[in-house]
Structure 1
């Protein structure tokens, strides 16, 4: 009996390689952020104010007195003219009309009682205005300091004639004229200061 021929080998199926699926970029998870830094125990941490914390204190406003020099010195010269006239009127009433011998000091050497008192009143007013201007630009309370200085100066001017003569009547009348001149300077310059200054807040 003849041998049967071997069975033919089965047909080989073609081998197909599978490619990995393509994943879209939007589906790829982003790289995670690094973990927050941990402050080690015992180390000082910066204080972070909460969002609801009120703002810090604001510095208090500063105020200063501004002097208008032009109108001030215009008022000062007008005050000096009034003071000179007060001295002249004082000499006229007391010495020429009431026949009281005034103790007149004449440092300028004008050799006239009217001129001597008029010049003294004018110079005293200008000196007081210069003092007031200096106090305004250099002291916190110029009116108070000026009031004290001028009040004491008026008292000295009113009492000083008592040391010049033994005639009490003459000394008192001279002191009265000095007092009137001082009061006129004080009152007028105080009004001038009130009209020529302003408080500015910065």
Structure 2
């Protein structure tokens, strides 16, 4: 006659353990701890870089390539106040993206996956918008390219900043348990 499996009798009923089983301690809940100062300092730096990318992109397209975007052709390589507004817009988008990263880090599982998807879709909108207005195809393509570079700049820098500004920590509950 074959021996029954350990823990089970011949009638396949569970046997009582001979030794008491120690209670299993719950795994501590691990959540990212966000260093907000570091995150926002990096977000501000990202915003400055994004504004400068917009400015360099416009100077390249208008001054070097001779494609007139954002202002009339007689406005020169810099353009007009619209160029400044465009650079400030890139700055503002980077600040909003930093706020989104901060919120996602605090509330979401796999926050950077959500952030990357959000940014990719925002960049897609930025690339497609120039093609919805009537303008020369060269201007549309140049504006879309600048928007793409600005978006990728913001996304890549904030991914790095978020990685540096967070660490995994254990949450201590009100009763003192981890």
User: How many pairs were matched up?
Assistant: 148
Shift of 1:114: 2.7
Shift of 1:61: 2.3
Query: Runs of 4 or more off by more than 2 Å in structure 1?
Result: 49-52
Unaligned 5+ runs, structure 2: 1-15, 72-79, 171-177
Name the SS of the counterpart of 1:191 in structure 2. helix
Shift of 1:166: 4.1
TM-score using structure 1 length: 0.69
- Mean CA deviation greater in 111-120 or 151-160: 111-120
Q: Distance in 2 between matches of 1:180 and 1:141?
A: 25
Q: Report the counterpart of residue 99 of structure 1 in structure 2.
A: 66
Q: RMSD in angstroms over aligned alpha carbons?
A: 1.7
Q: Distance in 1 between matches of 2:81 and 2:139?
A: 17
TM-score using structure 2 length: 0.78
Q: Distance in 1 between matches of 2:20 and 2:49?
A: 63
**Aligned counterpart in structure 2 of residue 152 of structure 1, from 121, 140, 147:** 121
Greater percentage in helix: 2
Name the SS of the counterpart of 1:65 in structure 2. strand
Give deviations 1:64-93, integer Å, cap 9, x for gaps.
Answer: 000001111111101000000000001100
Q: Report the counterpart of residue 196 of structure 1 in structure 2.
A: 165
CA contact (8 A) 1:103 1:171 kept: no
Name the SS of the counterpart of 2:167 in structure 1. strand
CA contact (8 A) 1:63 1:200 kept: yes
Shift of 1:57: 2.6
Higher relative contact order (CA 8 A, sep 6+): 2
